[in-house]
A and B are shown apart, each in its own frame.
Chain A
Amino acid sequence: MNDLFRHAALGNRWSRTCFLALCTVIVLAILVPAVSPWALDEVDWDAIDQAPAAAHWFGTDGVGRDLLTRSFSGARVSIAIALLATGVSVLIGMPYGAVAGFLGGRVDHVMMRIVDALYALPFVLFVILLIVVFGRNPYLLFIALGAVSWLDLARIVRGQTLAVRQEAYVDAARALGAGRARIVLRHVLPNVLGPAVVYATLTVPGVILAESFISFLGLGIQEPDTSWGVLIADGARTMQTSWWQLVFPATLLAVTLLACNVLGDRLRDALDRRDTVRPTPVAARDASA
């Protein structure tokens, strides 16, 4: 497992660059808001709508808030939501896939037909509906995003479970009188963990994207808190006069997504040496907003 990640992150120069870029963004997201002389919502009355300068490296926004601080506070929010949502998707997708794969037969068939049907629906619609119905708060946002991102994971875990189910140690456990629940929890889940972790990692950029999309529409994170989606939406409104308000957050988002995608590809390759022929739903999801 560790070898897998090491291989993916440090395999060649290009993936090392991406790994480094991702680490830089994360470290800056932790450090910048902590050491910045400006607070998230602090207004510098002498520098409203100002281009990048010594006092404000990324410039300031339309009401004079430091864009460097805001960009990396936004990074914190975007990344935290992505990680939490991914956690939620693991909590749903893993048991779902394991149960379907382990029970097999008709139960498996029905459970997978449901997954297929859900694939056909544009999920952002449902996330938006949930947000409208239950109010805009960050907790709901990540739970809702996680609740719609588990489909790929369920499929992968099911496939792995089908293989693991045939193993001798599962037979041995059954012969020793272990119940189904115990076999799934103690013998199946630990052994499908590797691929599940890889695919969970691949979920992260998709969720970052979805969050920025929803915040861009004004339905996600609310002022004075911020996220990349909020900043890019603001930047898009003022780009004709103040390019930096769009360019910095947009670049950060693009770099993060690029790095995640490249590392994700490497991970997938390391896990499965064959060229993937099936349309990898995760790649599709990464592309979708």
Chain B
Amino acid sequence: MTTYLARRLAASLVTLWAVVTVVFFLLRVAPGGPFDGERRLTPEVEANLRAAYHLDEPLVAQYARYLGMLLRGDLGPSFRSKDFTVNELIAGGLPVSLTVGGLALALAAGLGIAAGTGAALARDGPRDRWLTFAATAGLALPPIVVAPLLVLVFAVTLGWLPAGGFTTPAHAVLPAVALALPYLAAFTRLTRGSVAETLTAPHVRTALAKGLPTRRIVARHLLPPALIPVVSFLGPAAAALLAGSMVIEEVFSLPGLGRYFVQGALNRDYTLVMGTVVVYATLILVFNLAVDLLYSRLDPRIRLGRTGRGG
């Protein structure tokens, strides 16, 4: 278990390093720089600015400097928002994104597993058909379609919920719902297929034959093995939710990580873009690791590393 964890952590760090390296050099070969504005700077001012941010050093030296800073947890100063460091900007944006994203993931996975199980248990009945249809339709409703429509209905027309900003818990509702919807559909379909397959497994048939109460069969015998593919979808779903939140944050004017990434990309604010990418990649790698550890709890046969749990 410990060996496994160490190996996985090492692999994650290598991936993170690769991401940082690719993005770093990608941004530096880009034409144009952070100081190209409408107002032309005099050569002296620009040279001083470049020196202040160490942009005049050779590329390799800049890269080494950046890696060194990263190791100390310092993401550097923002090139554009002059009074802020990237750490400060991200510290402001991350809680917003995590709140909305976490809520959306919980909604999508929770409701999706419930709906998918319900559909599979009533297989080919009317309830199954309706849920399956809703799930297929839900996949066709991406955030860029759903988010504006939700604002139009619930904020503008009905006035039940705020349309934008992020000051009260109510502000998180519409963004989370808009973000969750396609993943709710995906979780439903995935759970339905997996539960339907597990229903035919010998151990479930045995449990049914013994006359165990349905509730107990579902909770003890059916769901744990059936949820393994669902759990493995949590990783990609979380990654996609992070990306989807860029649109959501734009529509609902949330001061989150996605907005900083898009703004940074548009303004060529290298350090801000690098910082958001580092945070994104770290979040996803940590999450994927957690998901893999969850596997062994669902199916004791999946032993991680050589000395598994109880093995």
Contact = CB atoms under 8 A, between A and B. Distances in A.
Q: Is B one of A's binding partners?
A: yes
Interface of A: 117, 119-125, 128-130, 132-135, 209, 212-213, 216-219, 229, 232-233, 235-236, 239-240, 243, 246, 250, 253-255, 257-258, 261-262, 265, 275-279, 281, 283-284, 286-289
7 contacts: A120-B235, A239-B156, A246-B149, A246-B152, A254-B140, A287-B182, A289-B143
Contact of B273 (A129, A246, A283, A289): A129
B151 interface: yes
Given A246-B149, A254-B145, A257-B140, A289 B240 contact: yes
A283 B186 contact: yes
Contact of A235 (B148, B229, B273): B148
Contacts of A278: 229
B268 A122 contact: no
A125 B26 contact: no
Contacts of A216: 144, 247, 250
B80 to A, nearest CB: 14
Nearest to B192: A275
A123 B23 CA distance: 12
Interface in B215-272: 229-230, 232-233, 235-237, 239-240, 242-244, 246-247, 250-251, 261-262, 265-266, 268
Contacts of B45: none
Contacts of A287: 139, 182-183, 185-186, 240
B30 to A, nearest CB: 4
Nearest to A229: B144
Interface in B142-168: 142-145, 147-149, 151-152, 156
The interface residues of chain A, by DSSP majority, are classed as helix
A284 to B, nearest CB: 5
Contact of B142 (A121, A209, A277, A281): A209
Contacts of A135: 31
A124 B140 contact: no
A128 B186 contact: no
Q: Please classify how large the interface on chain B is, using the bins under 10, 10 to 19, 20 to 34, 35 or more.
A: 35 or more
Interface string B184-222: 011001100110110000000000000000000000000
Contacts, number: 157
Contact of B19 (A121, A132, A213, A276): A121
The interface residues of chain B, by DSSP majority, are classed as helix
A235 B23 CA distance: 33
A232 B190 contact: no
B98 interface: no
A133 B193 contact: no
Contact of A120 (B185, B251, B288): B288
B48 interface: no
A279 B186 CA distance: 9
Give the 9 A-B residue pairs with the shortest CB-CB distance, closest first.
Answer: A288-B240, A258-B140, A236-B148, A257-B140, A133-B30, A287-B186, A287-B182, A122-B243, A124-B243
Contacts of B232: 279
A283 B144 CA distance: 18
B190 A132 contact: no
A130 B280 CA distance: 17
Contact of B139 (A121, A257, A275, A276): A257
Interface string B33-64: 00000000000000000000000000000000
A135 B265 CA distance: 11
A289 B144 CA distance: 9
Contacts of A217: 246-247, 250, 262
Interface string B174-186: 0000000011011
B280 A284 contact: no
B284 A122 contact: yes
Nearest to B186: A287
